[in-house]
Chain A
């Protein structure tokens, strides 16, 4: 049983990672979580971790300069009765892989819920990014499953909105990583 808004608790975490002094392109990532029967999962907790617009992490272990120190890079969101979630954040910059090769912009996502004895890790990539074609992690995934990690950009003007549905099981099962 995970805590939710019913706790009279001033939660330290939010699904809005953007503060007025955060630099970078504002994006929204929204979607739903489904189980193996295609039913919405209304009691999941999702956490994202990402770099800032310059590709730097708000963590002293990242020894590179941190020009955008107001951006914390972490967010948490519970799903609603329809399995829905939303994160307001910024488009992350490019982060190198262990060989120094650039990775396409991505958010790391961890999923927790009743019935999930271990959290599942996946990544959210952004549809329409040319860099996706050369991303070393996407290249590890069979081509016919790669699309499950690429959030579709929704048409329209203004802030970019990306749709990322998560299927825990079944024909359209999202790719999860053994990390």
Chain B
């Protein structure tokens, strides 16, 4: 196999120890990571077909009896490789809080209401050109205990399987113009401004559906010189 996934581009990613984000302090390794050549074990990855993704898994607004409350949006884009080629048949998973900033999760104690018509999880598979599309509700900001008056900017978590286990990416998509950006240690854990801005979607008026939903575009680049910074919360 001649595929190569260079490690130079990983420099754009956040350092594992980012003390402003407190949970990294006890969860980041202190010993040097071991550099190794990629073998077949790293260069291959799971392949999932249409049996994995059901027809309406990409539409988070029709999973329940009624429509969820909130601002209906389309989030779409392409999964690309470092050379700008679309990555076909990539599995894209998404999860998010509801319009009030509340997750369906046992440890989410934020005193904002759950929406009985919104779960907040979806998945899609890219087409032959690497294109994906979700329909959802714009998530709300929410408070968290990292520091005094800490609030996460509105964001959607993305998890992407590329064509190798080393191109596995978990990241967060943000919305343009959010006033919380400058105060958020997770967003700012990505040191390079250009890399940071690759996590911010763009408002897509051309693909907004009149009378129905606003639209945001979010392209995801796997591994390589313009790779999307990874992060998880």
Hey, which bits of chain A sit against chain B, CB under 8 A? 1-4, 6-9, 12, 35-37, 39, 41, 43, 47, 49-51, 57-62, 72-74, 95-98, 103, 106, 108, 110, 112-121, 123, 137, 140-141, 145, 168-170, 173-179
CA distance A61 to B37 in the complex (A): 18
A49/B41 contact (C-beta < 8 A), A118-B16, A168-B29 known: yes
* A114 x B26 contact (CB < 8 A): no
Which chain B positions have C-beta within 8 A of A169? Answer: 26-30
Which chain A positions have C-beta within 8 A of B45? Answer: 49, 59, 74
Chain B residues touching A, range: 35 or more
Residue in A7, A62, A140, A174 with the greatest tally of chain B CB atoms within 10 Å: A7
A59/B47 contact (C-beta < 8 A), A120-B29, A175-B34, A178-B34 known: yes
**Closest chain B residue to A61 by CB distance?**
B44
* A117 x B41 contact (CB < 8 A): no
In the assembled complex, the CB of B38 is this many whole angstroms from the nearest CB of chain A, namely: 6
Q: Does B149 contact A (CB under 8 A)?
A: no
Task: Name the one of A59, A96, A117, A120 contacting B13, with C-beta atoms under 8 angstroms.
Answer: A117
Which chain B positions have C-beta within 8 A of A103? Answer: 39, 41
* B25 x A177 contact (CB < 8 A): no
Interface residues of B in 29-56 (CB under 8 A from A): 29-31, 33-48, 52-53
Interface residues of B in 133-182 (CB under 8 A from A): 157, 163-166, 168, 170
* A62 x B46 contact (CB < 8 A): no
* B13 x A118 contact (CB < 8 A): yes
A43/B41 contact (C-beta < 8 A), A58-B46, A168-B27, A177-B34 known: no
**Closest chain B residue to A3 by CB distance?**
B95
A51/B41 contact (C-beta < 8 A), A1-B105, A108-B165, A176-B34 known: yes
In the complex, per-residue mask of B77-115: 1 if CB is within 8 Å of any chain A CB, else 0: 000000000000000000101000001111110000000
* B39 x A117 contact (CB < 8 A): no
**Closest chain A residue to B230 by CB distance?**
A118
- What would be 23 A-B contacts, judged by CB atoms less than 8 Å apart? A4-B105, A7-B121, A12-B123, A36-B30, A37-B26, A50-B41, A51-B41, A59-B46, A61-B164, A62-B44, A74-B46, A106-B41, A114-B23, A115-B24, A115-B25, A116-B27, A117-B230, A119-B170, A120-B29, A140-B34, A175-B34, A177-B33, A178-B33
